[in-house]
Amino acid sequence: MFGYIAINKAEMKFKDYDMYHSYYCGLCKRLKECYGIRGQVTLSYDMTFLIVLLTGLYEPETKLEVVNCIAHPLEKHAARTNKFTDYAAAVNLILSYYKCKDDWEDEHKKKSRLGAKLLNSKMKDIQKTYPDKIAVVSKNLKHLSILEQENERNLDLMAGLFGNIMAELFAMRQDEWEPSLRKIGFFLGKFIYLMDAYEDVEKDIRSGNYNPFKEGFQNNEHFAEDCKQLLTLMMAECSREFEKLPILLHADILRNILYSGVWCRYTEVTAKRLDAPVDLPEETEHNQQEPYQTDAGDNTDPDRNHSDTGEQQS
Amino acid sequence: MTDPYSVLGISRDASDEEIKKAYRNLSRRYHPDANINNPNKDQAEAKFKEVQQAYQQIMREREYGTSGGYGSYGSGSSGSDGYGSGSYGPGGYGSGGYGGFGGFGDFGDFGSFRGFAGQYRQANSGATESEEDLHMKAAANFINSRHYQEALNLLNGIKDRGAQWYYYSALANSGMGNNVIALQHAKEALRLEPDNFQYQMLVNRFESGGSWYQQQQGPYQTTFTGSSGLCMKLCIANLMCNLCCGGSGLCCGGGGMPGGYI
């Protein structure tokens, strides 16, 4: 998926990190058990956040196990799983499936089409369990894709459509906390959409793909700062709603993510642009930029990385 | 109505953390699942609901400054309304510094907006009302009743856009979760009528969300001071890790989690 909703490890206590990591391993484990290796490679931080959030809110019975890590055969990891892990695993698959499909339709990346195809059979099971969620995701993505073709510039509208998707996915239950969870999901979704556009803007200018920030990036000298303000607006709404929930368990982890971790990529992307300003769309610059870009693509985004490796494996 | 603070057994100046603790303890005690064999389980359930309502009421009051508030964005509200109370627990989150903004209670649940709609009506009562005046009035009513989409539909059809139009549009957009446009339009309303107190309040309210958030970020300095020291280092660590693993890309895919996964 996107991987923007991550922790800031440097600011996290060791015990909190271990706790977070155990939910992450738990998600990985359940992805594999429910959807096989193809599901497992969709693993993401974003959904780990959802698990920790729901666990903090509902304090469910949670199972702790020690598992062998596929990536690190010699290491054993603690894995925590509960009923929200299974839900997040399904959501993770839904989002990865649509992201692959979207990438294929957008950019005709062969890998993505293959990725979507591979997830197809798993999606049928999920469709049966969560027909309403799938319907909302699919409807909003379709709307997004139409507006992208029309080159829509309204940021609230575009980001809001992705916000609707996340709102639907965060609202796991119909109870007294549903409105709050929806709101958290909505603004987190807007944040993700805008952050994704912010990160991809150079690439999209080069490839000619849609990006709502194209003009701003090329003409606005305060582009980075203005985007930060937009992103802050989203996180402020999201975090205020979070603070209204009666969450004590894992609250430090969640605050680390909401107030700090979500900014890791923004900070990284912005610093990189400062270090190596890009003059678009000159070809020479383009070539110079290439290795840089590739590095970022392969090493900073666990989710994309995983989808790629998924195809290699199959 | 019973005092929600006494339902939770806490004082009015309790911190958010204390409120959450009190809520957790009581809701655990009275939760239907914990009272299946309790002969008084009906009473327990009633108490459970009372505790839940009290908690939500307190959180609403603290957000809006007054009771009443309105639903979440889905049913229409903006959320960033007012910042009545500040302190967020012992973890050093904020330091209660936002107490000073308590005055936003005025804005609360758009209570004063109702009055404003009234003013609008009065100001126009003498002259013959144009269709656009009527639409503005209807839009105000829609905003009051939280039908933000309907309000926007009407507003978008209006050609003559003055400060008030931007003010209404800001409110309606905020209700729809369109927080970027909402802030822009609130600022535009204020630019057109710099002395208008209500426009000023609205801009403050929208902007205070960002400053509140930045205050919450206080304890976490690293990602903002200077460049992205940490994140970049982690990237390099991951890159090296990837190389060690034969560049399969399977392990250590991402920044911030060199522990690896899958």
Q: pLDDT tens for residues A193-233?
A: 999 999 999 999 999 999 999 999 999 999 999 999 999 99
| Mean pLDDT across chain A | 86
Q: Is residue B64 pLDDT above 80, yes or no?
A: no
Q: Is residue B53 pLDDT above 50, yes or no?
A: yes
Residue type, A103: D
Cβ B228 vs Cβ B208: under 8 Å: no
Residues 167-196 of A with CB under 8 A from B: 167, 176, 179-180, 182-183, 186-187, 190
Q: Which residues contact B10 (CB under 8 A, 6 or more apart)?
A: B18, B19, B22
| Interchain contact, A163 vs B254, CB within 8 Å | no
How far apart are alpha carbons A169 and A37 in whole angstroms?
Answer: 23
Rounded to a whole number, what is the distance in Å from the CA of A197 to chain B's nearest CA?
A: 16
Contact residues, chain A, for B178 at CB < 8 Å: 156-157, 160
In what helix (H) or strand (E) does residue B227 lie, and over which residues does it extend? none
Q: Is A302 on the interface with B (CB under 8 A)?
A: yes
Banded pLDDT at A41 (limits 50, 70, 90): confident
Taking CA–CA distances from A294, the nearest residue in chain B reads B239
Q: What is the ipTM of this complex?
A: 0.82
Q: Is A70 on the interface with B (CB under 8 A)?
A: yes
Taking CA–CA distances from A252, the nearest residue in chain B reads B91
Contact residues, chain A, for B74 at CB < 8 Å: 167, 179, 182-183, 186
Taking CA–CA distances from A58, the nearest residue in chain B reads B24
- Tell me the pLDDT tens digit for each residue of A128-148: 999 999 999 999 999 999 999
Contact residues, chain B, for A47 at CB < 8 Å: none
Q: Is residue B254 pLDDT above 50, yes or no?
A: no
- One-character DSSP codes across B161-217: --HHHHHHHHHHHHHTT-HHHHHHHHHHHHHHSTT-HHHHHHHHHHHHHHHHHHHHT
Q: Is residue A173 pLDDT above 60, yes or no?
A: yes
| Interchain contact, A248 vs B181, CB within 8 Å | no
Banded pLDDT at B63 (limits 50, 70, 90): confident
| Mean pLDDT across chain B | 71
Task: Pick A275 or B127 by higher pLDDT.
Answer: A275
Q: Is A91 on the interface with B (CB under 8 A)?
A: no
Q: Is residue B257 pLDDT above 90, yes or no?
A: no
Rounded to a whole number, what is the distance in Å from the CA of B119 to chain A's nearest CA?
A: 31
Banded pLDDT at A107 (limits 50, 70, 90): low
Q: Is residue A13 pLDDT above 90, yes or no?
A: yes
* pLDDT value of position B191: 97
